[in-house]
Amino acid sequence: MSLAKRIIPCLDVDNGRVVKGVQFVEIRDAGDPVEIARRYNLEGADEITFLDITASSDNRDTMVHVVEDVASEVFIPLTVGGGIREISDIRRMLNAGADKVSINTAAVFNPEFVKQAADKFGSQCIVVAVDAKKVSQPGEPYRWEIFTHGGRKPTGIDVIEWVRKMDEYGAGEILLTSMDRDGTKIGFDNDLTRQVSEAVRVPVIASGGVGDLQHLADGVLLGRADAVLAASIFHFAEYSIGEAKAFMKSHGIEVRD
């Protein structure tokens, strides 16, 4: 027995409320991040990731309160992403009770920020989020590029070179989202995940495209991911985290019971 593969539900939070509608039976307030986090914790989630999609920076304090409230009663690792641009943003989230922050756009525009953040707070709490899109033509060897602005803007940066650099700069973990698969429910881009996972020393979280439990297992078995992240299949109670774990276990994957 050894290290378990992790299952991480992800919640999009806009101005303190969970969006993309979470649908649970027996839940009083489907928009309350604290109540949903509590529920996922009871179901056996290994970590919880919050993505702050609040557009206005004036409302960013709301996220701090959400993290504070969740951290007072949910005792598993909590990650916060979205709008992390400065050292002070990281400090605020960690002080509120987050264990890790995920840095996306700010890393692309200023890679040194990752170095500074890891030096200051330790690699263990710095996740670099990577939005990747396949740019190779059919018949060519696969190649993926970093995109920003929700997958709309290419940067010209090769994904494999980028994740190696982020590993070297002190990222403690890579959260890898396939922008080709995000929202499609046809499964992770397992070629992408495997290439990234083999390119870096640090753990890789696969994200983007999960539609069923086989997809989660494939992320680990084919993509060699260390953790799998999903949103909608858990939110809409299509599957519980317990069912996801039982399925993965039946496919020979080590999970936390």
Catalytic center residues: 12, 131
Q: Could you give the C-alpha distances from 215 to 124, 127, 174, 186, 219, in angstroms and in order?
A: 27, 23, 19, 8, 6
- Cβ neighbors of 37 (< 8 A, separation 6 or more) are 11, 48, 70, 74, 78
Query: Residue 203 Cβ, how far from other proteins at the closest point, in Å?
Result: 5
DSSP state of 176: E
Least Cβ distance, residue 20 to other proteins (angstroms): 26
Q: Would residue 144 be called left, alpha or beta, if left means φ above 0 and alpha means ψ between -120 and 50 degrees? A: beta
Q: Residue 231 is which amino acid?
A: A
Query: 190-199 and 213-221 helices cross at what angle (nearest 10)?
Result: 30
Where along the sequence are the contacts to other proteins (CB under 8 A)?
A: 1-6, 41, 46, 71-73, 75-77, 94-99, 121-125, 172-173, 201-204, 226-227, 256-257
Instruction: Indicate the residue among 121 and 169 with the shorter CB distance to other proteins.
Output: 121
5 or 181: CB nearest other proteins: 5
Helical residues (DSSP H) of the chain, grouped into ranges:
33-43, 60-71, 87-96, 105-109, 112-121, 159-169, 190-199, 213-221, 232-235, 241-250
Question: Whole-number minimum distance, CB 194 to other proteins, in Å?
Answer: 13
Chain-centroid distance, C-alpha 103: 11
Q: Could you give the maximum distance between any two Cα atoms of the chain, in Å?
A: 52
- Closer to other proteins by Cβ: residue 8 or 132: 8
Distance of closest approach, residue 221 Cβ to other proteins, in angstroms: 13
- For residue 134, count CB atoms less than 10 angstroms from its CB and return exposed for 0-12, middle for 13-18, buried for 19 or more: middle
Closest separation in Å from C-beta 69 to other proteins: 11
Name the one residue in this structure whose structure tokens are 């692309």: 108
Q: Which is nearer to other proteins, 41 or 49 (CB)?
A: 41
Looking at the Cβ atoms of 3 and 55, the one nearer to other proteins is: 3
Distance of alpha carbon 255 from alpha carbon 44, whole angstroms: 10
Nearer to other proteins by C-beta: 77 or 211?
77
State the minimum distance, in angstroms, from the CB of residue 36 to other proteins: 17
* Alpha-carbon span 243 to 256, nearest angstrom: 12
